[in-house]
Amino acid sequence: MMKTVIHKLPKLLHGGDYNPDQWLDHPEVLAEDIELMKKAGVNTVSVGIFAWASLEPCEGVYDMDWLGEVIDRLYENGIYTVLATPTGAMPNWLTEKYEEVRQMGSSGVRNLSGKRHNFCYTSPVMREKTKKIDMELSRRFGKHPGVILWHISNEMGGNFTDGTCYCPLCQEKFRQWLKNKYKTLDALNTAWWTKFWSHTYTDWSQIHAPAPHGENLLHGLNLDWKRFSTEQLVDFYNEEVRAVRTNSDLPATTNMMGFFKDLDYCKFADSIDIAAWDAYPEWHSQKDEVDIAVWTAALHHQFRSLKKAPFLMMESTPSITNWKVNNIQKRPGMHELTSLQAIGLGSQSVQYFQWRKSRGSFEKFHGAVIGHTDHGNTRIFREVSRLGKRLHDISDEIYDTCNQPKTAFVFDWENWWALEDAAGPKKEMAYVGTFLSHYKPFWEMGIDVDVVPMEDDFKDYQLVIAPMNYMYKPEYAEKIRRFVREGGTYVATYFSGLVDDTDLCFIDRQPLDDVLGVSCEEIDSPNEFYKNHILYNGKKYDTGDLCEVLKVADAETLAVYEKDYYGGYPAVTVHTYGKGKAYYMACRTEEAFLKDFYGDIAAQCGLENGLTDRLPYGVTVSRRENDEKALYFVQNFNPAPVTVWLKGCFENIETGESVSGILQMSGYSCVILKKQIER
Amino acid sequence: MMKTVIHKLPKLLHGGDYNPDQWLDHPEVLAEDIELMKKAGVNTVSVGIFAWASLEPCEGVYDMDWLGEVIDRLYENGIYTVLATPTGAMPNWLTEKYEEVRQMGSSGVRNLSGKRHNFCYTSPVMREKTKKIDMELSRRFGKHPGVILWHISNEMGGNFTDGTCYCPLCQEKFRQWLKNKYKTLDALNTAWWTKFWSHTYTDWSQIHAPAPHGENLLHGLNLDWKRFSTEQLVDFYNEEVRAVRTNSDLPATTNMMGFFKDLDYCKFADSIDIAAWDAYPEWHSQKDEVDIAVWTAALHHQFRSLKKAPFLMMESTPSITNWKVNNIQKRPGMHELTSLQAIGLGSQSVQYFQWRKSRGSFEKFHGAVIGHTDHGNTRIFREVSRLGKRLHDISDEIYDTCNQPKTAFVFDWENWWALEDAAGPKKEMAYVGTFLSHYKPFWEMGIDVDVVPMEDDFKDYQLVIAPMNYMYKPEYAEKIRRFVREGGTYVATYFSGLVDDTDLCFIDRQPLDDVLGVSCEEIDSPNEFYKNHILYNGKKYDTGDLCEVLKVADAETLAVYEKDYYGGYPAVTVHTYGKGKAYYMACRTEEAFLKDFYGDIAAQCGLENGLTDRLPYGVTVSRRENDEKALYFVQNFNPAPVTVWLKGCFENIETGESVSGILQMSGYSCVILKKQIER
Amino acid sequence: MMKTVIHKLPKLLHGGDYNPDQWLDHPEVLAEDIELMKKAGVNTVSVGIFAWASLEPCEGVYDMDWLGEVIDRLYENGIYTVLATPTGAMPNWLTEKYEEVRQMGSSGVRNLSGKRHNFCYTSPVMREKTKKIDMELSRRFGKHPGVILWHISNEMGGNFTDGTCYCPLCQEKFRQWLKNKYKTLDALNTAWWTKFWSHTYTDWSQIHAPAPHGENLLHGLNLDWKRFSTEQLVDFYNEEVRAVRTNSDLPATTNMMGFFKDLDYCKFADSIDIAAWDAYPEWHSQKDEVDIAVWTAALHHQFRSLKKAPFLMMESTPSITNWKVNNIQKRPGMHELTSLQAIGLGSQSVQYFQWRKSRGSFEKFHGAVIGHTDHGNTRIFREVSRLGKRLHDISDEIYDTCNQPKTAFVFDWENWWALEDAAGPKKEMAYVGTFLSHYKPFWEMGIDVDVVPMEDDFKDYQLVIAPMNYMYKPEYAEKIRRFVREGGTYVATYFSGLVDDTDLCFIDRQPLDDVLGVSCEEIDSPNEFYKNHILYNGKKYDTGDLCEVLKVADAETLAVYEKDYYGGYPAVTVHTYGKGKAYYMACRTEEAFLKDFYGDIAAQCGLENGLTDRLPYGVTVSRRENDEKALYFVQNFNPAPVTVWLKGCFENIETGESVSGILQMSGYSCVILKKQIER
């Protein structure tokens, strides 16, 4: 059922970023690398990231022999290469000769040489130089038996500011993009509602990108600029793919960065062959691991949902990062647990940044499999090696399965941009935090979910949840209307459905008021002096900092406000529409309510994890399946052992033992259970 | 006794900002507006703010027919127009063609198009274009029977940075302004004390405005730059008034912004015909409303004092703002109470920003009488309509009265600038907060006050209070000396009378030491580890973060410090001088002391509210009067009902009932009582 | 034994910054100054700081007669002059005519006129103009009998940003400096590890100084830029010295600023004749004075160690500063105590900023001996005068002694820069705070220390402590190896010895692992949820935010971790190497541990204060000595009296009394005791 993307190595990958270019003067290091990789069970490394200066030391002169030797040697030792294009950072000869290749900031200052992701997305020179070196890489290595995947650039857009370039070339391209989108200035002026503050555009040339010292409160402009920037970078990505494909038919991807607001990753979905992301959760930064595991799981779901298929965890640290305020070591066991968490949520790989610590510069203290001293003789190396063996042993059992959720969360970048740019009831709207708080009950119930943009068709889901879905893109309301009418369950919240895709308010009526049976009359943002509660099923829950006062046209009230001027007013409602139900949550609440509410919803929808009726605190389960079997990844994020009561009989895929009734788990551990599916 | 300024409509105004230019494509919306305005008791709207792009869609081409139709239609329906000039924001055709019209920031970067209040105060082009469109407005509407007042620009100086322009034109104008002021560089060098750090100017061209990357610690320069900026904007205002007067003799105003530090509003007093300000208190943001009501009342007093006459509340929200960190809805009743608070403190209007929410851009979620949906069928609309009726009913009784305080607070912008720019005992001197803490006891006693700059003559007051009056402008000391000698009571505090109007320290003696009978030897800024108290009338009060050690020449000690090295030293003194008394407060204290102290002072001066001897917590009274009657606005800012014990017999002007003894008030309410004055 | 530097006045200096140029129009003020200086026991003032505009009012025209008169008059009245060169601030005629003399910021924006320390370190124009005026000063006053010392510029580098200039001239000079250092780009590329992020330099012209919009994560570049900036300013200093020496053989110094990170003060040591610094501790800012006294003492030690000889406290406030967030007055007694603290730690002076408050500009409210009013009739003046007399009386007894510690702390600017620029386990590494926490036990024991850079030879010490000595400069490891082998005691901590002097990690082994007997396998940065303890000598101490997991090759474990995955692992070790011992502290701990640990170390090394076995809380002692005597400055920083139990018999040098057994001290006081040394 699952489509294999990486044909040459249809296995769980284990390895990571490898930078032999930094050690060409130290052949003994390169030799040791091979030996230690084999010890650690590494089967795949990513090579060539940030290697432009080594691959093209001066303009037009390519030196790829060292790379060829590295790839050969790896291959000879059974290790495969993910080959990167080097555009993650530009060499100084390029940036110094051609000013236009360097990004310009929003205040109009051109960056100097240096930094990473410093390239202009539009520059013809940059595109030409990129094309040439990518074609050369393709020519040299596009058919090498050891190369399995193209790794286009690296963490695109990660320029430490806002992931975009404001140079004149980009601005001119933006004006063309707008002309193409709006056709007329009248249409643009209306869409952006420029008459407010009298900023009607009378010539296309009057349009400038948002700037601190210029226009920055025109939400439509802000939104279109972000859309343009994403599309321009997707276009750059596509050009790179075309270049590396000149002598290669390998799949391609690019590694993404979690909740990276600057780029709408969903727009890359059609262009990439397999999704990939770099996972850096802040393990051990809170009193327990639950919220961090929730954050991580949500993102694994998100990246799996990009292609609705297994993805790659392209980077992770075996130990520690070096760029957070405080960098704490993964406790013994955590590395194995969190690596298997990724696998359980659909990853086909556990890749590290980085194989070996560099001697100098910014990331020399970032965690790595191999450090500056002691090399193979460390706790970290031993944990990595143990995991390598485990991945190798379970690979065949797992490889052709994937998670297949019946629940979808709408998480949409354009909504995120618009919602948090809107000047509304609060300055901080916390879209990500709100999404995570609604997702958390599903993690606690061990129910997998998809995370999709509004463009999804929603057809295969039983339950769709859309927290703070402020913007309704064209057709969204109609798709949801159809989804509910045909039997789906839909959950909407406060601050939803207020604007269209150019951030213009809907007037006269709210688009889904027929489906929801309610509409919002006013929204209050109470502070600490106006704390309130809702009453639901006989229990009382705290409300939060957003509370809507509803008008109910035709809906059942499930919860009411306790007091204040909207005391007794509905806070949660449900409306039966067609064969389905539409819920509306009028206010923020404490987590306890979300847990109880979604517990009830899941029960009504018949959603369950299939493994157990009640997961202990800090324990979850995810499920990969295919037509024949379901694999349950039971994950204990507590440092202490726990007991899980199983529903039925399962097989531990690693020990082969049959397990039923009680499952004993040690602290920070993951057990993989299998059940055959009877059809 | 009161001079009527708005002859065409001598009534309490009710209405607000109206932007029909955003809805010209929606005639049904414009028609609905008229109907709903009539329902809501609206008699006046402000039109044309931010409408430049609609009025002059391209250079020199005026399109004012739509505006004529709007004004006509309003007038036909009994609704009057406050007509705005459109300089609050510039159209793109203007800013793109003429670079010089755009402001330059202090770091030398010219703003791009966009923003509001982005115009250079000096630019000849801007002044010419402004003059032309203002004259055209005057030609078209200057004698329209429905137009009652000119609304010059909008919230002048509100450019979100520091309310000024640093372009070369402004800097050159500044140099001329300085030449005119100082005549010689020697005089300027002495006034600014430039020998410190060797920055003696030897040519006028060497002078630059304060800049982050240049001179910014020369207090005299900073001060003169702010003075110049205010004067340049007053000059711009005057030019606009001259332009709109070419075919009109209507009064003019501009709407101001409360404690807006960047502009010395007192310098506008002579130019405006009536004062106007936009009131956005943070109601419901604290544990109770008292401090917010105090803040608001102080500002109403301030703007009434500008002309010592009734003023206009030109903007307020009927419900919620959208630009604060947290925007909470006004609770039921609050809108009526706070609107009547303004009236009770001298406002002749309750105007809103905004009549109708825009569909797009920055303020689409700002509170309005009419929202995106539900229109006339909301709580907000009903509250506004009820207030509209009430204002209509009380208008005649109230219109020709005004507050006539016998107490004045010195609150002076130039002192504010100098005080907070001075590097003295503390970084944060908190001039506004200090003023408010001294004013609060008067609010609690229900005693109205004037709030005046040092230029006042102080002749008609019994009591003058000047908190932290760091700078003494020329003649100030002499005016105060005369005021006290002739029987007035004066209260001075720590950190007063230290510098002249160019921020040069007085040397040898402090200017009012003869009147006060004390002088300051040293000032201490104790922190949490050096908390102290003063002892006054047998009670002990906390001192704050500024404590002076005094030398007493000839004054009575009223309070002493409890301990530390100045334990036993005088903390509060009084000196009889001529027929009056001069008090000196040597330190910051907790509010309880200010309440007790000013209670004693008020009793000595025979100041009282005339209504009651003791107001409950959260309740105040303000008084508008004329030769025949006094009107008492009794305001209950508590959510719960209260009882007020009246001294004597009054008439409730709305019910016509006679009230004496107990007055019962509901939560968040205002009652208006009348007493005939017997002369 | 002590070398006298200031031959003309071999006495304790008392006086301060004097700015008669601001008062030339007020001859009565200048006359009063002389009278009050004599009353206050002032024998030396610094003249000419910031006087360029007065000395050279326009280009090439010198007006030094006023200065001659001032110096003459002072001399006639027995007051000596420290003569400043005026480069602390530039006159406007210079900065306006020659753009190149003004600094450029890291973002490429040239400063405007104004500010202080605004000069380019490289500009030929600036150097030429400086040379000329310095030569003129030398010509006029180089042999004046009243002038005793050259005060070169003022607080060099104190430009309120980062103490450097980024203009093209400086950048070009930097490239030359790099060529000179590295010879080849290959060497530079390796040293800076530029292959990381592909930033290999292929031409010297590609190198730019670190910039926010360019390269800023290349640690080697950052480090070399700071080195270059220091060296360029040392070079500027040396040029000034050469100029003032053209007609003078007086010694020269420049006043430094404590823990001023931007300049490596150790690099000035060879160029200055005597060290000088401006001491502004935040007395009274905490619950008691201990940590502030520790901070101050550490810096006195640091500046004494620069030349390993007595130094000058060139500025201090007699009362209050005006540039801190909160400026609190020195309590009675504190000024005398803190002035004698400086003397006790090796200062030959108590100088003030400032003699008289200016009338205007930024420092008009900074504390001074003479204020705007009251002049000689204030508490401050009386305290200063009393101190003046005391200094005069003790001068001869003290002058030729100095502190002679046997303990050295390694505190190294280059290590500071590299350590805090490194992206390692934490964002904030707190080098200064760590150093102070290790120094504090010595202050509490009354044991003087030297504070030296890694270039020291360490030969004369018994104990060397190197907290967080991240970088090992060339030869450092070998010097320490020799030091321990020959009997010294060395204390190293976590995060030490990781990189060489270009910030390249040592690989394969840590350089001193043979001496320490341990190496670090991993470093953890636990947060509040992972609090741990160490167990040492039966007691339990909190650990902090850095904990290393060690590998012990050959060392004795003195303390172990209590729990977590490294529970039971060594936390403190000692290794006997040759005749000496090497301690390793693997983690941050609470202060209590450091106190106990260093108490044990001091006992083992036989280090003691020679006065008493146990100092009360808040009391310390420092010792100045020569071949004949030891002088003990016993300092009580408590506001309350204390009792100190003396070991043996001493003479109070001021009363002549013999003291033994109990020494009674009043609050905030210093007693000076003498003991003859028997050889």
pLDDT value, residue B374 = 87
Given a cut of 90, whether residue B4 has pLDDT beyond it is no
d(CA C524, CA A330): 9
Could you please report the per-residue DSSP string of A205-240? GG-----TTS----HHHHHHHHHHHHHHHHHHHHHH
Q: How confident is the model at residue A679 (pLDDT cuts 50, 70, 90)?
A: low
CB neighbourhood size of A449 (10 A): 24
Rg of chain B, C-alpha, whole Å: 26
* Residue C315 annotated in active site: yes
Q: Would you state the structure tokens that stand for residue B221, as one six-digit string?
A: 């320069």
Q: What is the mean pLDDT of residues C578-591?
A: 98
pTM of the model: 0.97
* pLDDT surpassing 90 at residue A414: yes
Q: Report the pLDDT value the prediction gives residue B3, as an integer from 0 to 100.
A: 75
Rounded to an integer, the average pLDDT of A508-524 is 96
Contacts of A194 in chain B (CB under 8 A): 53, 361
- Contact between residue A198 and residue B87 where contact means Cβ atoms under 8 Å apart: no
pLDDT at C677: 86
Mean of per-residue pLDDT scores for chain A: 97
Q: Which helix (H) or strand (E) holds B606?
A: none
C218/A361 Cβ within 8 A: yes
Which of B110, B323, B331 lies closest to A565 in CB terms?
B331
Q: In a 3-state reduction of DSSP, which class is residue B185?
A: helix
Q: Count CB atoms within 10 A of the CB of residue B548.
A: 27
pLDDT at A326 over 80: yes
Q: What is the pLDDT of residues C182-197, one digit of tens each?
A: 999 999 999 999 999 9
Q: Is residue C597 over pLDDT 80?
A: yes
- pLDDT score, position B596: 98
Best residue in C104, C198, C426, C499 to probe A by mutation, most A CBs within 10 Å? C198
What ipTM goes with this model? 0.96
Which residue of A361, A365, A370 to mutate against C (max C Cβ within 10 Å)?
A361
| A366 and C505 Cβ atoms separated by less than 8 Å | no
* Positions of A marked catalytic: 155, 315
| Mean pLDDT calculated for residue range B323-334 | 95
User: Quick one: what percent of chain A has pLDDT higher than 70?
Assistant: 100
- Closest residue of A to C109, CA-based? A109
Using alpha carbons, select from A248, A170, A322, A238 the residue that is nearest to residue A7. Answer: A248
- CA distances to B154, B164, B399 from B278, in Å: 10, 20, 20
Q: Is the pLDDT of residue C1 over 70?
A: no
Q: What is the pLDDT of residues C259-270, one digit of tens each?
A: 999 999 999 999
Give catalytic status of residue C155 as yes or no. yes
For residues A391-402, average pLDDT: 97
Q: What is the pLDDT of residues C489-499, one digit of tens each?
A: 999 999 999 99
pLDDT single digits (tens) B141-152: 999 999 999 999
CA distance B100 to B123: 6
Nearest CA in chain C to A95: C206
Residue C679: pLDDT band with limits 50, 70, 90: low
Examine the pLDDT at B547 and tell me if it is beyond 70. yes
> Which of A528, A405, A515 is CA-nearest to residue A456?
A405
- Is pLDDT of A470 > 70? yes
Six token digits for residue A379: 């706790």
Examine the pLDDT at B678 and tell me if it is beyond 80.
Answer: no
Which residues of chain C make contact with A88, given a CB cutoff of 8 A?
197-198
Separation of alpha carbons B191 and C26, rounded Å: 15
Residue C522 confidence class, pLDDT cut points 50, 70, 90: very high
Shortest CA gap A423–chain B (Å): 6
Token pair belonging to B65: 């027919």
- List CB contacts (< 8 A) between C113 and chain B: 199, 206, 208, 214-215
Are B359 and A507 a contacting pair at CB < 8 A? yes
Question: Are B365 and A425 an interchain contact pair (Cβ–Cβ within 8 Å)?
Answer: yes
* Total residues belonging to chain A: 679
- What is the Cα–Cα distance from B367 to B355, expressed in whole angstroms? 9
So what's the pLDDT on residue C2?
58
- Whether the per-residue pLDDT at A1 is higher than 60: the answer is no
C321-371 pLDDT, tens digit per residue, is 999 999 999 999 999 999 999 999 999 999 999 999 999 999 999 999 999
Does residue B160 have a pLDDT over 90? no
Contacts of A363 in chain C (CB under 8 A): 196, 423
Please answer whether residues B274 and B5 qualify as being in contact, where contact means their C-beta atoms are separated by less than 8 angstroms.
Answer: yes
In degrees and rounded to multiples of 5, residue B649 shows phi and psi of -115, 135
Given this model, what pLDDT does residue A636 score?
98
Tens digit of pLDDT for each residue in B165-181? Answer: 999 999 999 999 999 99
The pLDDT value recorded for residue C229 is 98
Tens-digit pLDDT profile for residues C206-236:
999 999 999 999 999 999 999 999 999 999 9
Closest-CA residue of chain A to C507: A372
Of all residues in chain A, the one with the smallest CA distance to B325 is: A427
Q: Is the pLDDT of residue B1 over 90?
A: no
pLDDT tens digit sequence for B10-39: 999 999 999 999 999 999 999 999 999 999
pLDDT band at A653 (very low <50, low <70, confident <90, very high): very high
Across all residues in chain B, what is the average pLDDT? 97
Q: From C85, C90, C119, select the one nearest C243 (Cα to Cα).
A: C85
Cα atoms in the Cβ-side hemisphere of radius 13 Å centred on B599: 12
3-state secondary structure A454-501: CCCCCCCCCEEEECCCCECCCCHHHHHHHHHHCCCEEEEECCCCCECC
> How many degrees, rounded to 5, is the angle at CA B212 between CA B207 and CA B218?
50
Q: Determine, for residues A196 and B19 on separate chains, whether the beta-carbon distance falls below 8 Å.
A: yes
Contacts of A529 in chain B (CB under 8 A): 284-287
CA closest to B330 among chain A residues: A524
Asked if pLDDT for residue A2 goes beyond 70, the answer is no
For the stretch A171-216, pLDDT in tens is 999 999 999 999 999 999 999 999 999 999 999 999 999 999 999 9
What tens digit of pLDDT does each residue of C141-164 get? Answer: 999 999 999 999 999 999 888 999
Exactly one of C215, C240, C289, C315 is catalytic; name it: C315
The pLDDT assigned to B2 comes to: 58
Question: Tell me: the pLDDT tens digits for A232-242?
Answer: 999 999 999 99
Q: Is the pLDDT of residue B662 over 70?
A: yes
Q: Which residues of A touch B380 (CB under 8 A)?
A: 522
Mean pLDDT of A144-159: 97
| B213/C50 CB distance under 8 A | no
Residue type, A286: Q
Residue B637's pLDDT band (cuts 50, 70, 90): very high
- C260 touches C308 (CB < 8 A): no
Contacts of C646 (CB under 8 A, 6+ apart): C611, C612, C659, C660, C661, C662, C663, C673
d(CA B15, CA B369): 9
CB–CB contact C372 B506 (8 Å) = yes
Closest CA to A341 of A376, A385, A290: A290
